[in-house]
Amino acid sequence: MLDSPIREHLDTLLQAMADDKFLILTGAGISTPSGIPDYRDSDGVRRGRQPMMYQEFLAAPESRRRYWARAMLGWPRVRKARPNAAHEALATLQQRGRISALITQNVDTLHDQAGSHDVIELHGSLHRVLCLDCGQRSERDAIQQLMETQNPYLSGVDAVQAPDGDTLLDPAFEARFQVPQCPHCAGERMKPDVVFFGENVAQPTAARALAAAENAAGLLVVGSSLMAYSAFRLCRVIAERGKPLMAINLGKTRADDLLDLKIEGSCEELLPWLVEGLRR
């Protein structure tokens, strides 16, 4: 059962979305119930160590070796993750024509697996690998199989899972790691098809997201601290145009001063309620 304040906030959200199609923007908080760790705590502070920066990844083979050794051990958990009730609720809302578009900061494809379509992947997808030399893309499972074949010494090594398919791996395991080569050109500069920290969102993707915000009647943020500017700027667009800006999120967000309504509750619990309320 929902407590009274949350129920009242949810009723306000239902009224706002009853006749207008909102844009949905999701972050890591929607996928944590599926077993994928998030980057930040309830105060918006980053957990653990600094993630690898894009410039660092490009700069040296040692950096790419370190990244891929850790990522090889982290990928199975991402691949096995399955959508939860929150992903399924948003897929249902989209199928019923109750939302205008769906943007996600997540790179786990759980929205697609839940049945959502035309998802704007603001930060890309871990399920693809991009060659920086020839520009060709490969399926991550194929690259994973290649890495496991070339690095059998890591079989059975236990590493603590970190956000976005990363792991906390002892550096002693990294020195021998064989970095995968591109199946198309044999290049050695392979990267997951995601936006690294310090890297810009691809211009076509940023343009799609901006257009979605400009065309929406309002924006509902789900499970995001909005600390990444690529997401926060969409909230500013909505607020500057006087459209309703609301959020379901546990903890602080970068847009708290802009929000018209914030519901501090579990998106896995609240989004199914939203689906039922909009059915009436």
Summarised one tens digit per residue, pLDDT across range 28-51 is 999 999 999 866 545 555 545 667
Whether 23 contacts 212, CB under 8 Å: yes
* The pLDDT value given to residue 39: 60
pLDDT in tens, 133-150: 999 999 999 999 999 999
| pTM metric for this prediction | 0.91
pLDDT at 14 over 90: yes
The predicted structure's pLDDT at residue 147:
97
Inter-residue contact 76 to 166 (CB < 8 Å): no
Average pLDDT over every residue of 224-250: 97
Instruction: Tell me if residue 127 is catalytic.
Output: no
User: Is 108 annotated as belonging to a binding site?
Assistant: yes
User: Which of these is catalytic: 9, 111, 123, 127?
Assistant: 123
Helix 229-240 and helix 203-215, axial crossing angle in degrees, nearest 10? 30
**Is residue 235 a known part of a binding site?**
no
Average pLDDT over the chain, rounded to whole?
Answer: 92
Q: Is 267 among the annotated ligand-binding positions?
A: yes
* Residue 78 exposed, middle or buried by CB count within 10 Å (0-12, 13-18, 19+): buried
**How far is it, in rounded angstroms, from Cα 125 to Cα 40?**
20
